[in-house]
Each structure stands twice: as structure tokens, then as C-alpha cells.
Structure 1
């Protein structure tokens, strides 16, 4: 802790890496620091996010924290979940009592105990909703969203998220304000190559069945069968406990005869050098995405994007001519879209270059920070 004894803004977040919601937590903290507010962030463990927060003058706590995953709802995990909940709630109550925060900002819906603690402690509480799965069962969505009825206000990261929340709990939807994610990019980016010899396909994100990198591998194999020279660069890693997917992905690439054309680059906190080296970015998610951070980064890098046709991704990059949408999980359709990019390169390249400026204005991080800081500053004090 520092010598600053002002009532802080307390931000709580379930992650510690630098994926989409982690970056938005960082931008929210930066928004408050730019207004010289005292900011304390609680995360469950150390990781790249912690260093980034400390670099901007944020105080970081690493307490026991109960995170509500879908697996927590399975009966076989109830005992462990109950234990984690007791430890997490005790730590949360102690933190709120000690800090007496000016406001509590709950980042994502998987921290169910914090809104109730904030409400009972008479601390203005906001939940920032980054998750929206309209295709999930109503019971699961109800279990995830209901604890946030205790929050005074809601921030939704897209209209799709707002609609999903409102369909499950209309009262929660009525409390919500949409603030689109701010997505940072370099001031200058490397323009796409004028001519393509071998099509360089990029993927950035978690390596999981839900995110669809295996569909990208299948599409690569389909392009190779058609005689199109192409390669795939995968940036990302599996989450703990899902290591088997990484093995299956490599085995599938070998079975399809494209193992020498797939590069596994691991997690990268800075994805812009990778985006500068590719020709086209794929975002082949199989399930709902509340907001397409990665797809937006592709547009900001002046690269054509081929994304799954799901509401969150279409809302994020649908307005841009350099974006193409395909049926989720359909590797053949993904391959056809990539072939079209390759064959119509001059037009796709020009569209991607033109789309970058419009996207920079729409997703400007400073606009996001102003909106979040103003929103939090307007909360009535208890």
C-alpha cells in the first residue's frame, strides 16, 4: 500500500493475463489514474496484468477470490466451490472494510460475491459485463447474471451484451449503459504487402475448441489441397486444465499434412509485430462473443479479417468492408473466404487500409477511458 489515504476506487477482476477483458480492466484503471484518483485492484494471482497495473501507479492486492466458472455449477464441484466461496467472501469483506472504497467496480460477471458485499457495505457498485452467450441455457445465464442484481449500475461492452442481459433479467438490462471497448493500436502500422506469394494467415486468442483454431487448421489444409500456398501462425495458449486440446491440435495438423505450415507462437502480450507479418486474421469462434477485441485489432492493423458470423463479432467489425463473415465452425466456408481474400487481394488490401482510420476513431482508448471515468465519477455516494 501507499501513503495515499484517500478513499480509493476498488476494482476487482478474475484474470491476471492480458487478454480482452484483462486489457479493459487495465484501461479502466488507467482512466481513473489519469484523473489522479487512488486505484486499488484485486486479482486472484500474479501475471502480466499485475506489472502493467503497477506501472501506472495502481495498488494491487492478490487475495483469495471466488470465481464462478460454469464448472462450479456441476454437482461434483459443489464442495470445492463452497470452500472457495467462503475463503473468497471472507477476504472480500476484510478488504472492503479496510479500504472503505469510494466505489466498487466488478470486472466481469464471474465474481458473484462482490456486488452483494458492496451493496451491504453501502458502497456504490458497478458490474462491467463482458460475457454474453445468448445460446447458453437460461438457467446457466440466470445463475451467472443474478448475483449482479446487487450492483447499482451495469456497464455492457456491446449492444449484444445488453440485449442478452436484458433477455435474462430485464431489470438488469434497464440499469445498463453501453460503453464500447477501447482498443489501442500503434500510431503507425505496417501496410499489407502489395503482392502475396504465400498467404500468411494469423490467429490470436485462446487455444480452445470454443475459439476455433482447429477450424483454422482445417481451412489451411483445404487451401493446400486446392494448390494455394498458405501458412498459419497461432498466437495464444491453452488455459490450465485444457492442455489436451493443444496436443489434439498438433496431432490434427500432422494428420492433415500441414504440420510444417503451422507455427505455434505461444502467448504474446504484444500482438502487433505478429499482425504486421500476416496478410489476413481469422477469428473462427464457435460460440457467442460479447465483443470482438481480436477482430477489431485486425482491422486496426489494416488487415482483412475473416470472422464467424455471430452477433458480437458482426457488431464489432461488420461496418468494415475488409471484414468477411462465415458460418461458425465451418472450415470449408472459412477456406473459401480465405481463398477469396487471396484472389481479390488488391481490393481487400485497399479496403483494409481505408478501414483502419475509421476503426481508430470508433474504438479510441481515450474515448473509452473518458466514458468510464465519467460514468464512475457520476455514481451517487452512499
Structure 2
């Protein structure tokens, strides 16, 4: 690392984030920024849009610059979308390079593969760039996945947030060409978990936390609740989250589905919450029903840290996050009946799952605590900013940053 003029300062880092939101990858970037500031780094974060994340970053001691930058969305993977993306690149790349030169960082951390042109901006300024990968899009076509991951070739190094995201990247050549780390997510828990109720009396209290989107399977929660009701099991369902701009139609469909299934008295939409500890504490069980691939399952760990059982779709990073936890019930994905059976399993085995969730909370704090995450990420950043060692063709350079 280039020494800082301030002997107490470790260096300067510029973090590029695609939004000002506070969802999964945004929260992990916020936690990374907290750790870097505490370690003595000058931490500058640029977000492509304003939002609740900006205030939280400033509270953590980071400098924040809101600068519109090209963000790759699936809607852009078409001729018309690519043309619009190209115009954005031509217009905005010079401003991005100017910010890199003004901040003069020791390294640029590019948060997610959706802002790949920050890697280009950094490397054309002669600055090391590390891409922090939170995606696991195995369901994309080969060409689309290649397009999203191609910018990794420009990076000095790559940090994957799970073994799932590393595997799905599908880059055998990266084993030879890049020093890459797997740094599992560090998940913040409640200051003190509220114990779950001793027995289930009345409706089973179910909570969904996350984006409202078809891929997240929010509608499956409603259909599972209807199946349970028809079987004589009442539920009280809280939906916590909001839609991504442009997906307002999906929330409308969800509310219409509530009416169609006659669930108005059982379902409430809480909207986005910066912290979800009260909602998890009010619930008996959490659900994570994503239909499509996930690189990790932060909500799985948040539920367990809150001492609540969780019913989880059995695939990709969700299964990785749930692995080894006795209060995590894995069910087939995109299957409302299986989701209902999983919820019924928790209700009928409440004494077992309540006790298991209390034990799991301690393990979740050990394995996915923020202090451990900070230490792993800092080691990875230092390694990727240092000169790369030479390697013979075929040598593997994966160096998981695990204790």
C-alpha cells in the first residue's frame, strides 16, 4: 500500500456502489465501510443515486459523493438497451475518471458486477480495482453472464461473498489469472434478541423481509398462507419491503392477489424498513422463498440472529447460508405447497425449532459476525493492492480469506 501522510491512516479507498438503497449488497457495502473507517482508512463512497444509504454512510464516518454512473440492468441486455448503455458510458466515464483522480485512492472497491465501468475508470487511471461480487446469476444465458462478468478481467482482484457466487462466475481462467477471495457476508443482528413465545396460540406469525419481486417469490408466501388457511391453520403474514423502481406493477399484483385469496384480514404490507428487528421479533417464523439464484441469504442469518426459525428455498446461496443450522427448514423452490408444509413443520414442532433457533443464534454470531467479516475483507484488500506474485501457468490463485 502507498503510505499515507498521516501515520495513523491505513490508506484511501474509493467504493463504487450502484444505488443509495439499503438492501443486501448495499448493506454489506455499508458494513465494509464501517470496518474500513474503524481501521483508519479514508473511506470515500460514490453512489449512482441518492437514498437512505447515504446518511448511514456519513454516520459511519465515510465521505459520500452521489455521482450518476452506468448501472447494468437485465433490461439493458438487448440491442436498444445496449445502445442506451453505450451513451451513458460515453457521457459519464470521463466524470468517473475525474473522481478517481481527485480522490487518488490506493484501491477502488467496485461493489457488485452491475457497475463494471468503475473498474475501467480505475484501471485507466492506473489504480488497483477490486470487484466485490454479490451475484450468482446461473439462470442467465451464457452470453449474458459472460457480458456481466467480463469486466472482472480488468480487475486487480475479486472478492466473492460466498462459495456460490465464486462457483457461478464460472471462470476457470480466473483461477490462474486473479488472486480471488471468498469473504462470507458479515450480518448485523439485534442488540438483544427477544425470545420467541413459548407456544403457538392463535395464528402462526409469518414474516417476509426483502424486495417485493417475482424472483424473490413474495407471492408464494401469500399462496402458502391461503393453503394453510384452507387446511385449518390460520396465519398472520407481514410483508416487509418495497419494489425496485419500475416494478410497481408487481406490488399491485400482490395486493390484488390478497383480495383474490380473501387474505385481507391476515396480510399486511409494512413497506421498507431500515432495520427489521422489531418485525422479526414480532414473528414466529421468517420465510425466504426466492425462486431464482441467490449468492447468499442475509435474511436467513438475520432471522437466526433474532432467534427465529426460518423456512428457506433449497438452492444456491440460500442453502449455503442455511447449512448446518437446525432451525432452518429447507424446502423446494417455487413451490407454494412445499412452503406451506415447511411452515406447518415449524408450527407442529415449535418446541424443537424454538430451542434450535436459540442455539443457532450463537453459531450465527460466531460464523457471520461483523468483526470477523471486517478482518477477512481487510486482509483481502491488502493482498489485492499489493504487487501480484508471479505464477506458473495452471497454478491456482484462489486464496479464501477464511479463519
Q: Tell whether the structures are fold-level matches, with TM greater than 0.5.
A: yes
* In structure 2, C-alpha distance between the alignment counterparts of 1:139 and 1:173, rounded to whole Å: 20
Q: CA deviation at 1:200?
A: 0.2
Q: 85-94 or 259-268: which moved more?
A: 85-94
Contact kept, 8 Å, 2:159 with 2:380, in 1: the verdict is no
Q: CA deviation at 1:172?
A: 2.7
Q: How does 1:260-275 map to 2 (within 5 A)?
A: 260-275=265-280
Find the partner of 2:290 among 257, 275, 285: 285
* In structure 2, C-alpha distance between the alignment counterparts of 1:117 and 1:83, rounded to whole Å: 16
1:329 aligns with 2:334: yes
Contact kept, 8 Å, 1:64 with 1:91, in 2: the verdict is no
Aligned partner of 2:393 in structure 1 is none
Q: CA deviation at 1:371?
A: 1.4
Aligned partner of 2:142 in structure 1 is 138
Q: CA deviation at 1:104?
A: 0.7
Q: How does 1:1-382 map to 2 (within 5 A)?
A: 8-165=12-169, 167=170, 169-174=171-176, 175=178, 176-197=180-201, 198-378=203-383, 379-380=385-386
Query: Could you say if the C-alpha distance between residues 220 and 173 of structure 1 is closer, same or farther in structure 2, counting changes exceeding 3 Å?
Result: farther
Query: Could you say if the C-alpha distance between residues 173 and 237 of structure 1 is closer, same or farther in structure 2, counting changes exceeding 3 Å?
Result: farther
Contact kept, 8 Å, 2:19 with 2:50, in 1: the verdict is no
Q: CA deviation at 1:77?
A: 2.1
* In structure 2, C-alpha distance between the alignment counterparts of 1:294 and 1:15, rounded to whole Å: 20
Query: Could you say if the C-alpha distance between residues 288 and 306 of structure 1 is closer, same or farther in structure 2, counting changes exceeding 3 Å?
Result: same
Contact kept, 8 Å, 2:108 with 2:129, in 1: the verdict is yes
* In structure 2, C-alpha distance between the alignment counterparts of 1:115 and 1:256, rounded to whole Å: 48
Q: CA deviation at 1:173?
A: 4.7
Contact kept, 8 Å, 1:212 with 1:286, in 2: the verdict is yes
Q: CA deviation at 1:259?
A: 1.7
Equivalent pairs, count: 377
Question: Which string of whole-angstrom CA distances, capped at 9 and with x for unpartnered residues, describes residues 5-25 of structure 1?
Answer: 986211101021111111111
Question: Which string of whole-angstrom CA distances, capped at 9 and with x for unpartnered residues, describes residues 180-200 of structure 1?
Answer: 000011232011110112100
* In structure 1, C-alpha distance between the alignment counterparts of 2:148 and 2:166, rounded to whole Å: 14
* In structure 2, C-alpha distance between the alignment counterparts of 1:161 and 1:272, rounded to whole Å: 27
* In structure 2, C-alpha distance between the alignment counterparts of 1:129 and 1:170, rounded to whole Å: 16
* In structure 2, C-alpha distance between the alignment counterparts of 1:93 and 1:161, rounded to whole Å: 28
* In structure 1, C-alpha distance between the alignment counterparts of 2:347 and 2:373, rounded to whole Å: 35
Contact kept, 8 Å, 2:207 with 2:286, in 1: the verdict is yes
